[in-house]
Amino acid sequence: MTLQVCVVGGGPAGMMLGFLLARSGINVRVLEKHSDFFRDFRGDTIHPSTLEILDELGILDDFLKLPHQEVRQLTGQIGDTTLTLADFTHLPVRSKFLAFMPQWDFLDFLAGKARVYPTFKLEMESEATGLRFDGDRVTGVRVKTASGEAEVLDQLVVGADGRRSIIRDAAGLQPEDFGAPMDVLWMRISRQPTDPGQVLGRVDYGKIFVMLDRGDYWQCGLVVPKDALEEIKQRGLPALRADIRRIAPFLGDRVDEIKSWDDIKLLTVQVDRLRKWYRKGLLCIGDAAHAMSPVGGVGINLAIQDAVAAANILVPALRETGTASEAVLEKIQKRRELPTRVIQDGQIAIQNNIIRRVLASEGRMSPPLLIRILGAVPLFRRIPARLVGLGFRREHVTVGR
Ligand SMILES: Cc1cc2nc3c(=O)[nH]c(=O)nc-3n(C[C@H](O)[C@H](O)[C@H](O)COP(=O)(O)OP(=O)(O)OC[C@H]3O[C@@H](n4cnc5c(N)ncnc54)[C@H](O)[C@@H]3O)c2cc1C
């Protein structure tokens, strides 16, 4: 069956775009290579800008019924000093907080809302392996499923298949790689009711340790220098456990829950951006167009903003002509490139000027002057809250049912 749009990848970008297109009466299929959304950590933060979009779509109240945590102020600990670094309570939106929710719950929720529309098809365990061309125009996707290989032919292919996008490779779209000085080791440690409240990041002894409260366990991320895993393995697990206990002493013997290297997942950090996000018959959005650093935890939200901008521009074009011209696709890149560039530039500056230095240092740390001022003056905390919570050039849903 030829549909109007084939979205490759059921992450935040792909699921939101699928939902928005289906809601506007556009026939869309979303191909997702996994059998469910339940897998490794992929970011848990739903920012006020995304909550506002859910509100515009009339699904915020249902979303907030799902188990989640609402964080109104972001705190961090540098050495012995705990500081409030961002205060979301003054943002000019309905939801003045970050919602922390496991990403699989968020994606399941979007899938549930999208399935209501007969124009929506979600094809799980369907892995895109390449593109089909007619001359220089992309006309479809080669797909591997449990029952074999097939081709789907659609009017427009959207690559929303994340940072290792095969779609952008197959389309010959070239990313500019900005590099990243770090990777993240991800692990779980049980949580006790007597543990301190959520302090997002602990910075000390040349380490950065992130802890997300997931109810009965902490989802922990240890930021390590890029490609350092082999060296860390050579030092051994006991040394790693000791590092973690030193930076978060309240964990005590619970660090022994990290029993083997299998309990630790390496998340590689990558920051890049396509020079051109489209070609005839194809568009890339989300991490497939611009892989985001975890700095600021904004990637999911940027992916959602891309999806909203793409739907706002695509729906009128698809309704009118049944397809999207290169001029239409170029308009989407133009709309989203500047906010992406601004945020990535900020992430790269933080990576190179702060994270790189922290990881290269040893011994106890104390907050630099700028951070101390930020922590001490409540008014200033609104600035990072605005940048992180709402981003820049915020999108609103302009296409309806
Ligand atoms: C260590 C780390 C921590 C992060 N933490 C946060 C955070 O806390 N908050 C935040 O907002 N962002 C965070 N990010 C960034 C965030 O994960 C991404 O920016 C965001 O997930 C991008 O969404 P996406 O939909 O574009 O891509 P993805 O989330 O990568 O989704 C792509 C989807 O496509 C599917 N797929 C891939 N290939 C194929 C294929 N060939 N065929 C079919 N399906 C395919 C994948 O299975 C996946 O479901 C973090 C990144 C890293 C590296």
Tell me the pLDDT of the chain (401 aa) as tens digits.
456 899 999 999 999 999 999 999 999 999 999 998 876 557 789 999 999 999 999 999 999 999 998 999 999 999 989 999 899 999 999 999 999 998 999 999 999 999 999 999 999 999 999 999 999 999 999 999 989 998 888 889 999 999 999 999 999 999 999 999 999 999 999 999 999 887 888 999 999 999 988 888 999 999 999 999 999 999 999 999 999 999 999 999 999 999 999 999 999 999 999 999 999 999 999 999 999 999 988 999 999 999 999 999 999 999 888 889 999 999 999 999 999 999 999 999 999 999 999 999 988 888 888 888 888 888 899 999 999 999 889 999 998 76
- Ligand 1 contact via 184 beta carbon (within 6 Å): yes
Closest atom, ligand 1, to C-alpha of 300? 11
Torsion on CA atoms 269, 270, 271, 276, rounded to nearest 10: -150
So what's the pLDDT on residue 153? 82
Closest atom, ligand 1, to C-alpha of 41? 3
So what's the pLDDT on residue 212? 87
Kindly report the protein residue whose alpha carbon is nearest to atom 38 of ligand 1: 161
Closest atom, ligand 1, to C-alpha of 15? 25
What is the CA(286)–ligand 1 centre distance, in A? 8
What is the CA(42)–ligand 1 centre distance, in A? 6
Closest atom, ligand 1, to C-alpha of 299? 19
Report the DSSP beta bridge partners of residue 213.
218
The residues near 235 (Cβ < 8 Å, ≥ 6 apart) are none
The strand pair at 278-279 and 282-284 is best described as antiparallel
What is the CA(215)–ligand 1 centre distance, in A? 23
- Ligand 1 contact via 298 beta carbon (within 6 Å): yes
CA gap 163, 133 in Å, rounded:
23
- Dihedral sign, Cα of residue 338, residue 379, residue 50, residue 176: positive
Question: What 3-state class would DSSP assign to 43?
Answer: coil
So what's the pLDDT on residue 375? 82
Kindly report the protein residue whose alpha carbon is nearest to atom 19 of ligand 1: 299
The residues near 253 (Cβ < 8 Å, ≥ 6 apart) are none
CA gap 276, 330 in Å, rounded:
8
Distances (CA, A) of 347 to 74, 222, 299, 352: 17, 18, 11, 9
Closest atom, ligand 1, to C-alpha of 161? 34
So what's the pLDDT on residue 44? 83
- Ligand 1 contact via 42 beta carbon (within 6 Å): yes
- Ligand 1 contact via 223 beta carbon (within 6 Å): no
- Dihedral sign, Cα of residue 101, residue 102, residue 106, residue 108: negative
pTM of the model: 0.94
* Tokens coding 362: 């040893």
Report the DSSP beta bridge partners of residue 395.
none
Q: Which of 15, 39, 42, 104 to mutate to test the pocket of ligand 1 (most atoms within 8 A of CB)?
A: 42
What is the CA(107)–ligand 1 centre distance, in A? 11
So what's the pLDDT on residue 365? 87
